[in-house]
Amino acid sequence: MGDFSNNSKKVTVFGGTGFLGRYIVQRLARQGWMINVVTRNPSEALFLKTAGYIGQINLFQGDFTNFENLKSILKDSNVLINCVGILNESAKQKFKFLHSYVPAKLAHYATELGIDKFINISSIGADESSNSEYAKTKGLGEKKIRQAFPDAIILRSSVIFGAEDKFFNLFSSIATLSPVIPVVGGKTLFQPVYVDDIAFAVEKILTDPKLTYKNGVTYELGGPEVFCFRDLMKKMLSIIKRRRFILEIPFWIANIMCPLVYMANKLSFNTIPLLITKDQIKQLKKNNIVSEKALGFEDLGIFPRVIDAILPTYLNRYRPKGQFYDL
């Protein structure tokens, strides 16, 4: 096993410029890790370098069309962290490739190169037998990782929130423009988890020698509170000080609307957000909460933060007078 007690420790992060990845990079930089971040456009990831000292965070150009190049970047790494994932498919980005093939390939390289730890970011609900392609490919990816790297650690999360999220920010922006908030699956349960709490979980796994479960396990990470989708919208509206009608759309109507939403998104060149897809409707039919017997934050010695402590810090800009609403 590698020596994680000195500055020779090195971690390679895939998806390090994304929503969760940047928080992981920041936390590991504070712990003194040497960090490689693999990105398609290093020039757009320069902001990450400010999280560490000179030479601590290195950006490498790489994509999943040249795996041999990625393998060379992984050499001399102690840890590999995979944060790569998409919520919607596009012409160039497919669930099966990014959620199943890529993690399996990285796990194979990790074993071949003698890398000590492999951490993969997944999602609650990952299940290779699911009728949702997102959940199915996430589950298949977990299975292939375990086959190639049995000691891999998998972190499944519920919906993630934070300053850069595409959940509360999206619906808050809708609330500034529309008198109606459309909701599909209003009774579906979620366990929102703060992005930095997940990053803290990664930090603990790599730095806390007292952890009981460190290798070959799956953690399910959800916040301390469970809400239905409709109540999350009510919570958001109360924070941004706006009154809006929450319109619950039945699943069958949402399925009919999907092609129209998709067409509007494409014809507007993505200026109209892709609010819902048929695959997301399948996911919304199941609750997105931590399983009863799953390992979680408690096993990591972490007390996750409640949404009331975080949402006002970044949603106040959606108030009628912005952050100065109460003045």
pLDDT for position 326:
62
pLDDT recorded at residue 7? 55
Whether residue 305 lies inside any domain: the answer is no
Here the CATH number for the domain that contains residue 103 is 3.40.50.720
Q: Per the structure, how many domains does the chain have?
A: 1
This prediction's pTM: 0.93
Q: Per the structure block, which two tokens stand in for 326?
A: 């109460």
3-class DSSP state of 10: strand
Q: Does residue 312 lie within any of the structural domains?
A: no
Q: Any idea which residue has 């990470």 for tokens?
A: 221
What are the φ/ψ torsions at residue 34 (nearest 5 degrees)? -85, 130
Three-state SS at 288: strand
Task: Please calculate the CA angle 201-206-208 and round it to the nearest 5 degrees.
Answer: 80
Task: Answer whether residue 295 is part of any domain.
Answer: no
The beta-strand segments (E) located in the chain are 10-14, 34-39, 57-61, 79-82, 117-123, 153-157, 160-161, 180-184, 189-190, 193-194, 218-221, 227-228, 245-249
SS3 breakdown of the chain: % helix, strand, coil, rounded to 5?
A: 45, 15, 40
Domain, as residue range, for 102: 10-157
Inside any domain, residue 178:
no
Mean pLDDT by 10 residues, the chain (327 residues): 55 96 97 95 93 94 87 93 93 93 96 96 97 97 97 97 96 95 96 98 92 86 98 97 96 93 82 86 97 94 97 95 64
pLDDT of residue 324: 65
Closest CA to 31 of 1, 5, 50: 5
